[in-house]
Amino acid sequence: MNEGAVNVAIVGTGVIGAGWATHFLAQGFAVTATDPGDGAESRLRKWIDDNWPAAGRLGLAKGASRQNLTFTTDVGTAVRHADFIQESGPERLDVKHTLIATIESAAKADAIIASSSSGLSVSDIQTGARHPERIVLGHPFNPSHIIPLVEVGGGRLTSPENVAKAIAFYTATGKKPIRIDKEVKGHIANRLQVALWQEAISLVQRGVASVEAIDAAIAYGPGLRWALLGPFLNLHASGGPGGVTHVLQHLGPAQREWAKDLGTCPESDEYIESIAKGVEAELTPYDFTEMLRQRDELLIQLLEAKRNLSQIP
Torsion angle defined by CA atoms of residues 39, 40, 43 and 47, in that order, rounded to the nearest 10 degrees: 180
Sign of torsion, CA 82 168 150 19? negative
Confidence bin at 3 (pLDDT 50/70/90): very low
Average pLDDT over residues 182-203: 96
Sign of torsion, CA 287 293 297 299? positive
d(CA 23, CA 21): 5
Per-residue pLDDT, 5: 62
Peptide linkage before 143 cis (omega within 30 of 0): yes
pLDDT, tens only, 21-73: 999 999 999 999 999 999 999 999 999 999 999 999 999 999 999 999 999 99
Amino acid letter, 169: F
Contacts of 300 (CB under 8 A, 6+ apart): 54, 57, 58, 146
Q: Which residues pair with 31 in a beta bridge?
A: 8, 69
CA distances in angstroms from 105 to 40, 59, 71, 259, 260, listed in the order given? 23, 36, 19, 50, 52
Q: Say if strands 135-140 and 112-115 run parallel, antiparallel, or are unpaired.
A: parallel
pLDDT over 60 at 4, yes or no: no
Per-residue pLDDT, 6: 81
- The domains of the chain, with CATH numbers, are 3-179 (3.40.50.720), 189-307 (1.10.1040.10)
Q: What percent of the chain has pLDDT over 90?
A: 96
Average pLDDT over residues 133-143: 97
pLDDT over 60 at 176, yes or no: yes
Burial of residue 151 (number of CB atoms within 10 Å: 0-12, 13-18, 19+):
buried
Angle between helices 189-205 and 211-219 (to 10 degrees): 140
pLDDT, tens only, 262-303: 999 998 999 999 999 999 999 999 999 999 999 999 999 999
Please count the other Cβ atoms lying within 10 Å of the Cβ belonging to residue 36. Answer: 11
Contact present, 26 and 145 (Cβ < 8 Å)? yes
pLDDT over 50 at 77, yes or no: yes
pLDDT over 90 at 86, yes or no: yes
Q: Flag whether the pTM goes above 0.75.
A: yes
9: helix, strand or coil:
strand
Q: Which residues pair with 176 in a beta bridge?
A: 149
CA distances in angstroms from 231 to 96, 171, 242, 244, listed in the order given? 33, 23, 16, 11
242: helix, strand or coil:
helix
Average pLDDT over residues 226-247: 94
